[in-house]
């Protein structure tokens, strides 16, 4: 499981470098994420750009990480591929997570200004593919 983390002010950006988050690596993903988020950053952004496939085990791992960081911290998602976005939409997890269409930049001020537009999710019934 390959993850890379960068700290930018109050944001921890975690980049996933795997094409799949599925049953084969869900436990490794969850453990690696728990180690990375242990630093206490109030905002964690998970960049899923390379992930083309996410099954129920992968979704469960992402939800488990969200729960493990606690209610005072946020886990946000960024750059979802159409297939992964569809999983979040079909399970209605898109209403639970803040989902950014692209990976936020490191400038905290720019992130705050762009947040309202970036947090919009696809309207019900919209289909990517």
Q: Please check whether residue 50 lies inside any domain of the structure.
A: yes
**Residue range(s) defining the domain that contains residue 29:** 3-105
pLDDT recorded at residue 121: 39
Classify residue 101 by burial, with Cβ atoms within 10 Å: 0-12, 13-18, 19+.
middle
Q: Please check whether residue 49 lies inside any domain of the structure.
A: yes
pLDDT digits (tens, 9 = 90+) for 25-45: 999 999 999 999 998 899 999
Q: Which residue has the tokens 């979802």?
A: 80
User: CA–CA distance from 93 to each of 8, 36, 42 (Å)?
Assistant: 26, 22, 20
Arithmetic mean of pLDDT over the chain: 85
Kindly state the average pLDDT of the residues 110-123: 38
For residue 30, give the CATH number of its domain: 3.30.750.24
Q: Please check whether residue 129 lies inside any domain of the structure.
A: no
Model pTM score = 0.78
pLDDT recorded at residue 104: 86
Count the Cβ atoms, other than its own, within 10 Å of residue 115. 13
Confidence band (pLDDT; 50, 70, 90) for 107?
A: low
H/E segment holding residue 16: strand 11-16
Q: Please check whether residue 55 lies inside any domain of the structure.
A: yes
Domain count of the fold of the chain? 1
Q: Please check whether residue 115 lies inside any domain of the structure.
A: no
């Amino acid at each position: 499981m390959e993850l890379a983390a960068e700290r930018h002010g109050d944001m921890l950006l975690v980049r996933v470098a795997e094409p799949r988050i599925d049953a084969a690596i869900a436990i490794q993903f969850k453990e690696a994420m728990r180690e990375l988020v242990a630093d206490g950053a109030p905002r964690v952004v998970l960049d899923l750009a390379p992930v083309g496939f996410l099954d129920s085990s992968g979704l469960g791992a992402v939800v488990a990480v969200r729960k493990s960081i606690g209610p005072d911290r946020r886990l946000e998602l960024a750059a979802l591929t159409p297939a992964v976005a569809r999983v979040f939409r079909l399970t209605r997890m898109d209403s639970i997570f803040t989902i950014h269409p692209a990976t936020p930049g490191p400038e905290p001020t720019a992130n705050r200004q762009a947040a309202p537009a970036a947090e919009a999710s696809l309207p019900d019934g919209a289909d990517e593919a």
